[in-house]
Structure 1
């Protein structure tokens, strides 16, 4: 059940808890348990229902009861109200505690813009640039201190490739339309991006997904030092994609990894909850 940490919402929690206990008792009787036995099974839960107990809650409360067994957990999860009567504990709502909430990062790369977004299975948000030290805003911001003549030659072509380099075919790189000097400048740009990302995520272990024009992704991977960068990325110009669209594509990449982690956690559930 959801719980609260402050008035006036906290006043609703005992009422909600009493109603859920009533539903649990009704389901136990419906499944064949004698009413007196159902009440006895829920006695430990009833004894919790005191004012002091409700003044020390988190975002959610999970309760497990069985013959000769009772545990409750105050948890940082926003549960929906749920009563389950079964021959085994229903642990699926707790999986985010064991595997994380599906959190990942998305690095969207283009010549005009670098964006870092943080996502979960349900949502995605952009991390504001001012919150990330040493992350270059664009390719131009990196090249601005280079020799003026070289910079002008690199940036002044009339041909524009969205998300890529001026004057380059969107599907090319060194040896296929981008010369060695230009590729070296991309590498310098991405090296600074990588430095900013590494400083922002020094102790993180969550997946990082790249989004960008296809030929840029392998160049970034060459300079990357974040150990949890995924091989698969999102190809295309991220400037043209809404965050919601990027979230959909990124979640399709990271979801199988989280599902495997959840499976491993479920296999450990008896050890955790019956310890």
Structure 2
């Protein structure tokens, strides 16, 4: 799972040359055999662009070597998602298998091209999924596109324990009735009956899980979805009132679901809530632009400048092709280019990464969400 930590790590690297490669991949089927061939072609493209930027074979060969090794790594190609992103510099190669249909391409510059992966990290696209069975509770970190187990979450687990209940015919000799003339009402019974014992143990376990989950989830400013059968779900909600954090419940045994189905059902419960943030930002931006308020702008040059100054609170980006150009920090000048040059950058990528580094929100919008001929809108802090 591509995380905010990964994004921060890639944003803060300062390589002399950074290569970003994106391609579609196939989790299964005969198309898997074509994926190494397509990566080989993309690496050839990367080599050409690095050479055009002034690097020699002595520089390029060791830089691309780790990614080239993937071409013959059969195991690597057997465990893919729908998209593969490679970030390569002179020191490291980072590969991310992501659930996105990435447009194929290679970008070479002095920073990584991260915009294609931003939908995975939208601030209003994050939520948690808590699954609870009679023996185990598991917490997942989730986004609109993917879900992964939170290995740091400390939640209770329960070992099966036998009840100490003894029925009359299995009781110790003083309590055992005479089989010839049974007098069961007078027999001694030790411990709870199996149904009572099972229910008591379940209630205790669910209460412990609810308490631990409340401690973890209240520290996160994001909603969660509970997945458990109806009995456990009812006990959980009676034990703890998590108020607005609980976005919904899926009343089914989570053990009966694979990870994709689990994510699909949980996302359906939280989707409307997640969409509120971006829709509010879009509505606020339209209102500000409509009345000519200076705290909103759709000028790409102004947006790039404001992103470097840390003035963007929310940035709405059109999901589409790069806008090539360059920004000169010393002169604060933005130049647009029709085709990428050796030192060109995608200005939308620049604005997005700078906004995130300064604590702003970034929303990747569909083509129809933003006004025509508008590539981005920014709501400014000041």
- TM-score by length of structure 2 reads 0.37
2:236 and 2:159 map into 1 onto residues whose CA distance is 13
Mark the structure with the bigger radius of gyration: 2
Please state how far the C-alpha of 1:78 moved relative to its aligned partner: 3.4
The 8 Å contact of residues 224 and 248 in structure 2, kept in 1 or not, is answered as: no
Match of 1:132 among 153, 158, 169: 153
1:254 and 1:77 map into 2 onto residues whose CA distance is 30
Please state how far the C-alpha of 1:117 moved relative to its aligned partner: 0.9
Aligned residue runs from structure 1 range 1-275, under 5 A: 4=11, 5-7=13-15, 9-10=17-18, 78-80=114-116, 100-128=123-151, 131-133=152-154, 135-138=155-158, 140=160, 144=161, 148-150=163-165, 182-230=198-246, 232-269=248-285, 270=288, 271-272=295-296, 273=379, 275=382
* More displaced 10-residue stretch of structure 1: 106-115 or 180-189: 180-189
SS in 2 for 1:80: helix
2:19 and 2:250 map into 1 onto residues whose CA distance is 47
Q: Deviations over 1:183-208 (max 9, x none)?
A: 44322111110122123234212111
Q: Deviations over 1:220-270 (max 9, x none)?
A: 101124334436311221112112111011111111111122211222223
Q: Deviations over 1:56-111 (max 9, x none)?
A: xxxxxxxxxxxxxxxxxxxx993139xxxxxxxxxxx79966xx241111111112
Any gaps of 5 or more consecutive residues in structure 1?
A: 16-75, 82-92, 154-177
Tell me: CA distance 1:219–1:201, structure 2 relative to 1, closer, same or farther (3 Å).
same
2:119 and 2:258 map into 1 onto residues whose CA distance is 31
Tell me: CA distance 1:195–1:101, structure 2 relative to 1, closer, same or farther (3 Å).
same
Tell me: CA distance 1:241–1:101, structure 2 relative to 1, closer, same or farther (3 Å).
same
Please state how far the C-alpha of 1:182 moved relative to its aligned partner: 4.1
SS in 2 for 1:205: coil
1:95 and 1:127 map into 2 onto residues whose CA distance is 16
Any gaps of 5 or more consecutive residues in structure 2?
A: 1-6, 21-48, 50-111, 168-193, 289-294, 297-378
The 8 Å contact of residues 194 and 225 in structure 1, kept in 2 or not, is answered as: no
Kindly tell me the number of residue pairs found equivalent between the two proteins: 168
Which residue does 1:22 correspond to in 2? none
The 8 Å contact of residues 223 and 247 in structure 2, kept in 1 or not, is answered as: no
1:10 and 1:221 map into 2 onto residues whose CA distance is 50
* More displaced 10-residue stretch of structure 1: 245-254 or 100-109: 100-109
Please state how far the C-alpha of 1:217 moved relative to its aligned partner: 1.0
The 8 Å contact of residues 208 and 228 in structure 1, kept in 2 or not, is answered as: no
SS in 2 for 1:232: strand
The 8 Å contact of residues 247 and 269 in structure 2, kept in 1 or not, is answered as: no
